[in-house]
Structure 1
Amino acid sequence: MTPDQSKAQVISAARDVVTTLALKGASANFSRDSCNDQGEAPFRGRVVIAYDHAPTLEASQAEVQQMIAMLKQHGWGAPGDFRTHAPAVSKQGVTAVFDVYSPVQNSGGSISLYGECRDVTTKQNTVPEQVPADQLS
Protein backbone atom coordinates (compact mmCIF):
# COMPACT_ATOMS: atom_id res chain seq x y z
CA MET A 1 0.00 0.00 0.00
CA THR A 2 1.39 3.39 -0.95
CA PRO A 3 1.29 6.44 1.34
CA ASP A 4 -1.42 7.92 -0.90
CA GLN A 5 -3.48 4.74 -0.67
CA SER A 6 -3.16 4.62 3.12
CA LYS A 7 -4.34 8.24 3.30
CA ALA A 8 -7.24 7.66 0.90
CA GLN A 9 -8.33 4.60 2.90
CA VAL A 10 -8.86 6.52 6.16
CA ILE A 11 -10.17 9.71 4.52
CA SER A 12 -12.83 7.64 2.75
CA ALA A 13 -13.76 5.92 6.02
CA ALA A 14 -13.91 9.29 7.80
CA ARG A 15 -16.27 10.62 5.13
CA ASP A 16 -18.44 7.51 5.61
CA VAL A 17 -18.55 8.03 9.40
CA VAL A 18 -19.26 11.77 9.20
CA THR A 19 -22.06 11.39 6.64
CA THR A 20 -23.61 8.25 8.14
CA LEU A 21 -23.73 9.80 11.60
CA ALA A 22 -24.54 13.32 10.30
CA LEU A 23 -21.92 14.67 12.72
CA LYS A 24 -22.36 18.34 13.57
CA GLY A 25 -19.31 20.57 13.67
CA ALA A 26 -17.05 17.83 12.30
CA SER A 27 -13.40 18.56 11.60
CA ALA A 28 -10.54 16.14 11.13
CA ASN A 29 -6.81 15.76 10.88
CA PHE A 30 -4.69 13.12 9.16
CA SER A 31 -1.35 11.61 10.11
CA ARG A 32 0.71 8.52 9.40
CA ASP A 33 1.58 6.40 12.42
CA SER A 34 3.93 3.48 12.84
CA CYS A 35 2.24 0.22 13.71
CA ASN A 36 4.94 -0.58 16.28
CA ASP A 37 6.63 1.07 19.26
CA GLN A 38 9.94 1.49 17.39
CA GLY A 39 8.52 4.01 14.92
CA GLU A 40 9.41 1.79 11.97
CA ALA A 41 7.49 0.41 9.01
CA PRO A 42 4.84 -0.63 8.48
CA PHE A 43 2.79 2.54 8.86
CA ARG A 44 -0.92 3.24 8.63
CA GLY A 45 -3.07 6.25 7.96
CA ARG A 46 -4.91 7.76 10.91
CA VAL A 47 -7.70 10.31 10.96
CA VAL A 48 -9.04 11.90 14.14
CA ILE A 49 -12.52 13.40 13.85
CA ALA A 50 -13.64 16.06 16.32
CA TYR A 51 -17.36 16.83 16.48
CA ASP A 52 -19.97 18.61 18.61
CA HIS A 53 -20.27 15.93 21.29
CA ALA A 54 -22.72 15.51 24.15
CA PRO A 55 -21.93 17.73 27.16
CA THR A 56 -21.75 15.09 29.93
CA LEU A 57 -20.01 11.76 30.41
CA GLU A 58 -23.29 9.87 30.61
CA ALA A 59 -24.75 11.58 27.56
CA SER A 60 -21.53 11.03 25.63
CA GLN A 61 -21.51 7.33 26.50
CA ALA A 62 -25.10 6.99 25.27
CA GLU A 63 -24.26 9.02 22.15
CA VAL A 64 -21.35 6.72 21.32
CA GLN A 65 -23.52 3.62 21.73
CA GLN A 66 -26.09 5.13 19.34
CA MET A 67 -23.31 5.95 16.86
CA ILE A 68 -21.99 2.39 16.98
CA ALA A 69 -25.48 0.98 16.44
CA MET A 70 -25.99 3.29 13.45
CA LEU A 71 -22.64 2.36 11.90
CA LYS A 72 -23.38 -1.35 12.36
CA GLN A 73 -26.60 -0.82 10.39
CA HIS A 74 -24.39 0.59 7.60
CA GLY A 75 -21.90 -2.26 7.29
CA TRP A 76 -19.48 -1.63 10.14
CA GLY A 77 -18.81 -4.61 12.41
CA ALA A 78 -16.69 -5.94 15.25
CA PRO A 79 -13.14 -4.55 15.39
CA GLY A 80 -11.56 -7.95 14.70
CA ASP A 81 -8.05 -8.28 16.08
CA PHE A 82 -7.66 -4.54 16.78
CA ARG A 83 -7.04 -4.17 20.53
CA THR A 84 -8.51 -1.27 22.49
CA HIS A 85 -10.46 -0.72 25.70
CA ALA A 86 -12.63 1.87 23.95
CA PRO A 87 -15.75 1.15 21.89
CA ALA A 88 -14.74 0.34 18.30
CA VAL A 89 -16.06 -0.91 14.96
CA SER A 90 -14.35 -1.85 11.68
CA LYS A 91 -15.11 -1.78 7.98
CA GLN A 92 -12.94 -2.55 4.95
CA GLY A 93 -9.69 -2.62 6.92
CA VAL A 94 -10.34 0.57 8.92
CA THR A 95 -11.12 0.59 12.65
CA ALA A 96 -13.03 3.48 14.23
CA VAL A 97 -12.27 3.96 17.94
CA PHE A 98 -14.61 6.17 19.98
CA ASP A 99 -13.25 8.41 22.73
CA VAL A 100 -16.11 9.34 25.07
CA TYR A 101 -16.16 12.97 26.24
CA SER A 102 -15.05 13.50 29.85
CA PRO A 103 -15.99 16.91 31.27
CA VAL A 104 -13.75 16.28 34.30
CA GLN A 105 -10.68 16.03 32.06
CA ASN A 106 -12.21 18.27 29.35
CA SER A 107 -11.09 15.73 26.77
CA GLY A 108 -12.46 13.14 24.42
CA GLY A 109 -15.48 13.44 22.20
CA SER A 110 -13.59 12.25 19.16
CA ILE A 111 -13.37 9.32 16.77
CA SER A 112 -9.99 7.95 15.66
CA LEU A 113 -9.84 5.93 12.45
CA TYR A 114 -6.89 3.58 11.96
CA GLY A 115 -6.11 2.12 8.55
CA GLU A 116 -4.33 -1.06 7.68
CA CYS A 117 -0.66 -1.54 8.62
CA ARG A 118 0.49 -1.98 5.02
CA ASP A 119 2.42 1.20 4.14
CA VAL A 120 6.08 0.13 4.05
CA THR A 121 7.19 3.19 2.06
CA THR A 122 6.73 5.81 4.80
CA LYS A 123 9.84 6.28 6.96
CA GLN A 124 8.52 8.11 10.05
CA ASN A 125 5.40 9.25 11.89
CA THR A 126 3.97 12.45 10.48
CA VAL A 127 2.59 15.56 12.12
CA PRO A 128 -1.22 15.82 11.89
CA GLU A 129 -2.51 17.90 8.99
CA GLN A 130 -6.01 19.34 8.66
CA VAL A 131 -8.37 17.41 6.39
CA PRO A 132 -10.26 19.86 4.15
CA ALA A 133 -13.96 20.01 5.04
CA ASP A 134 -15.01 19.12 1.48
CA GLN A 135 -13.27 15.74 1.86
CA LEU A 136 -15.53 14.88 4.80
CA SER A 137 -18.85 15.42 3.07
Structure 2
Amino acid sequence: MFPNRHDIDHPANPMSDQQAMAQVIEPAKHIVKDADLQDVSGGFRWESCNDQGDPPYRGLVEMSFKWPMDDAKGYPTEVEPNAYFEKLAATMVAHGWSDGPPPGWHSYGRVIHKDGVVAVATQDPTSGRGAIRVSGECRNMTNHRRDGTMLGFEITDQLRDR
Protein backbone atom coordinates (compact mmCIF):
# COMPACT_ATOMS: atom_id res chain seq x y z
CA MET A 1 0.00 0.00 0.00
CA PHE A 2 2.90 2.37 0.86
CA PRO A 3 5.89 0.94 -1.05
CA ASN A 4 8.37 3.58 0.16
CA ARG A 5 7.36 3.41 3.81
CA HIS A 6 9.78 1.80 6.28
CA ASP A 7 8.30 -1.33 7.89
CA ILE A 8 9.88 -1.90 11.31
CA ASP A 9 8.56 -5.50 11.43
CA HIS A 10 10.31 -6.39 8.16
CA PRO A 11 13.73 -4.68 8.02
CA ALA A 12 15.24 -4.38 4.55
CA ASN A 13 18.68 -5.50 5.74
CA PRO A 14 18.33 -7.93 8.67
CA MET A 15 21.29 -8.52 10.98
CA SER A 16 22.58 -11.87 12.19
CA ASP A 17 22.77 -12.49 15.93
CA GLN A 18 26.52 -11.87 15.83
CA GLN A 19 26.13 -8.58 13.94
CA ALA A 20 23.40 -7.33 16.28
CA MET A 21 25.49 -8.22 19.35
CA ALA A 22 28.62 -6.55 17.97
CA GLN A 23 26.58 -3.47 17.00
CA VAL A 24 26.06 -2.65 20.71
CA ILE A 25 28.88 -4.43 22.57
CA GLU A 26 31.68 -2.72 20.63
CA PRO A 27 30.29 0.82 21.13
CA ALA A 28 29.67 0.05 24.82
CA LYS A 29 33.33 -0.93 25.16
CA HIS A 30 34.36 2.33 23.46
CA ILE A 31 32.17 4.37 25.82
CA VAL A 32 33.80 2.69 28.83
CA LYS A 33 37.29 3.35 27.49
CA ASP A 34 36.79 6.85 26.04
CA ALA A 35 34.83 8.16 29.05
CA ASP A 36 37.16 6.34 31.49
CA LEU A 37 34.25 4.74 33.36
CA GLN A 38 35.24 2.98 36.58
CA ASP A 39 34.05 -0.25 38.19
CA VAL A 40 31.88 -1.08 35.17
CA SER A 41 29.55 -4.05 35.11
CA GLY A 42 27.04 -4.99 32.46
CA GLY A 43 25.17 -7.46 30.38
CA PHE A 44 23.77 -8.04 26.92
CA ARG A 45 20.20 -9.06 26.14
CA TRP A 46 17.70 -9.01 23.31
CA GLU A 47 14.88 -6.50 23.26
CA SER A 48 11.82 -6.95 21.07
CA CYS A 49 10.90 -3.93 19.00
CA ASN A 50 7.17 -4.51 19.39
CA ASP A 51 4.64 -5.09 22.16
CA GLN A 52 4.14 -8.77 21.28
CA GLY A 53 7.72 -9.85 22.05
CA ASP A 54 8.16 -11.05 18.46
CA PRO A 55 10.92 -10.23 15.96
CA PRO A 56 12.48 -7.97 15.03
CA TYR A 57 14.84 -7.61 17.98
CA ARG A 58 17.60 -5.22 18.81
CA GLY A 59 20.70 -5.86 20.87
CA LEU A 60 20.82 -4.06 24.21
CA VAL A 61 23.74 -3.53 26.55
CA GLU A 62 22.90 -2.35 30.05
CA MET A 63 25.87 -1.28 32.12
CA SER A 64 26.51 0.54 35.37
CA PHE A 65 29.55 2.34 36.71
CA LYS A 66 30.84 4.01 39.84
CA TRP A 67 31.03 7.79 40.02
CA PRO A 68 34.54 9.27 39.79
CA MET A 69 36.57 8.79 42.96
CA ASP A 70 38.65 11.27 44.90
CA ASP A 71 41.83 9.19 45.00
CA ALA A 72 43.28 11.12 47.92
CA LYS A 73 40.24 10.52 50.14
CA GLY A 74 38.96 7.25 48.69
CA TYR A 75 35.31 8.19 48.33
CA PRO A 76 33.16 9.45 45.44
CA THR A 77 33.66 13.06 44.45
CA GLU A 78 30.65 15.31 44.72
CA VAL A 79 29.13 14.69 41.31
CA GLU A 80 25.96 16.27 40.04
CA PRO A 81 24.62 13.59 37.66
CA ASN A 82 23.37 15.93 34.92
CA ALA A 83 26.68 17.80 34.80
CA TYR A 84 28.57 14.51 34.71
CA PHE A 85 26.40 13.18 31.86
CA GLU A 86 26.92 16.42 29.91
CA LYS A 87 30.69 15.92 30.25
CA LEU A 88 30.35 12.26 29.22
CA ALA A 89 28.31 13.27 26.15
CA ALA A 90 30.87 15.94 25.19
CA THR A 91 33.64 13.35 25.47
CA MET A 92 31.78 10.94 23.21
CA VAL A 93 30.94 13.68 20.68
CA ALA A 94 34.69 14.31 20.47
CA HIS A 95 34.98 10.60 19.55
CA GLY A 96 32.49 10.78 16.68
CA TRP A 97 29.11 10.40 18.40
CA SER A 98 26.25 12.82 17.74
CA ASP A 99 24.73 14.82 20.56
CA GLY A 100 21.11 14.13 21.42
CA PRO A 101 18.70 11.51 20.13
CA PRO A 102 18.26 10.56 16.49
CA PRO A 103 14.99 11.63 14.81
CA GLY A 104 11.99 9.88 16.30
CA TRP A 105 13.80 8.62 19.41
CA HIS A 106 12.34 9.69 22.77
CA SER A 107 13.98 8.75 26.04
CA TYR A 108 14.54 9.84 29.58
CA GLY A 109 18.21 10.59 30.24
CA ARG A 110 21.20 12.02 28.39
CA VAL A 111 21.22 10.68 24.84
CA ILE A 112 23.97 10.32 22.22
CA HIS A 113 23.92 8.30 19.01
CA LYS A 114 26.19 6.94 16.28
CA ASP A 115 25.74 4.58 13.30
CA GLY A 116 22.26 3.40 14.32
CA VAL A 117 23.24 2.91 17.99
CA VAL A 118 21.69 5.01 20.77
CA ALA A 119 23.22 5.36 24.24
CA VAL A 120 21.17 6.76 27.13
CA ALA A 121 22.91 7.73 30.37
CA THR A 122 20.98 8.03 33.64
CA GLN A 123 21.51 7.49 37.34
CA ASP A 124 20.18 4.22 38.75
CA PRO A 125 17.67 5.32 41.42
CA THR A 126 18.23 2.17 43.49
CA SER A 127 22.02 1.94 43.64
CA GLY A 128 22.88 5.56 42.85
CA ARG A 129 25.43 4.33 40.29
CA GLY A 130 25.63 5.72 36.77
CA ALA A 131 23.79 3.63 34.18
CA ILE A 132 24.02 3.51 30.39
CA ARG A 133 21.74 1.63 27.98
CA VAL A 134 23.21 1.04 24.54
CA SER A 135 20.50 0.07 22.02
CA GLY A 136 21.01 -1.19 18.49
CA GLU A 137 18.76 -1.19 15.45
CA CYS A 138 15.62 -3.32 15.11
CA ARG A 139 17.11 -5.59 12.45
CA ASN A 140 17.54 -9.02 14.04
CA MET A 141 14.84 -11.47 12.90
CA THR A 142 15.75 -14.48 15.08
CA ASN A 143 12.85 -15.37 17.37
CA HIS A 144 14.76 -15.09 20.65
CA ARG A 145 11.61 -15.62 22.67
CA ARG A 146 11.56 -19.18 21.34
CA ASP A 147 15.30 -19.92 21.36
CA GLY A 148 15.82 -19.40 25.10
CA THR A 149 18.26 -16.46 24.82
CA MET A 150 16.02 -13.60 26.03
CA LEU A 151 17.73 -13.37 29.42
CA GLY A 152 21.05 -12.54 27.79
CA PHE A 153 24.49 -12.88 29.33
CA GLU A 154 27.12 -11.08 31.38
CA ILE A 155 29.71 -8.98 29.49
CA THR A 156 31.49 -7.28 32.41
CA ASP A 157 34.85 -8.83 31.45
CA GLN A 158 34.52 -7.53 27.88
CA LEU A 159 33.62 -4.05 29.11
CA ARG A 160 36.59 -3.92 31.47
CA ASP A 161 39.11 -5.26 28.95
CA ARG A 162 40.92 -2.09 27.90
So what's the TM-score if we normalise by structure 1? 0.87
Question: Map of 1:1-137 to 2, 5 A cutoff?
Answer: 1-53=15-67, 59-77=80-98, 78-80=100-102, 81-102=104-125, 105-107=126-128, 109-124=130-145, 126-136=150-160, 137=162
| Contact persistence 1:21–1:67 (CA under 8 A) | yes
Q: Structure 1 residues 56 and 24 mapped into 2: Cα distance closer, same or farther (>3 Å)? A: closer
- What percentage of residue pairs aligned between the two structures are identical? 30
* Greater C-alpha radius of gyration: 2
How many matched pairs?
A: 135
Q: For residue 97 of structure 1, report the CA deviation from its aligned partner.
A: 0.6
| Contact persistence 1:28–1:49 (CA under 8 A) | yes
Residue 26 of structure 1 aligns to a residue whose secondary structure is: strand
Any gaps of 5 or more consecutive residues in structure 1? none
So what's the TM-score if we normalise by structure 2? 0.74
Rounded to whole Å, the distance in 2 between the matches of 1:106 and 1:134 is 22
Q: Structure 1 residues 11 and 74 mapped into 2: Cα distance closer, same or farther (>3 Å)? A: same
Q: Flag the structure with higher strand content.
A: 2
Any gaps of 5 or more consecutive residues in structure 2? 1-14, 69-75
Which has the larger displacement, 6-15 or 124-133? Answer: 124-133
Q: CA RMSD in A?
A: 2.2
Q: Which amino acid aligns with 1:51?
A: F
* Higher-RCO chain (CA-CA 8 Å, sequence separation at least 6): 1
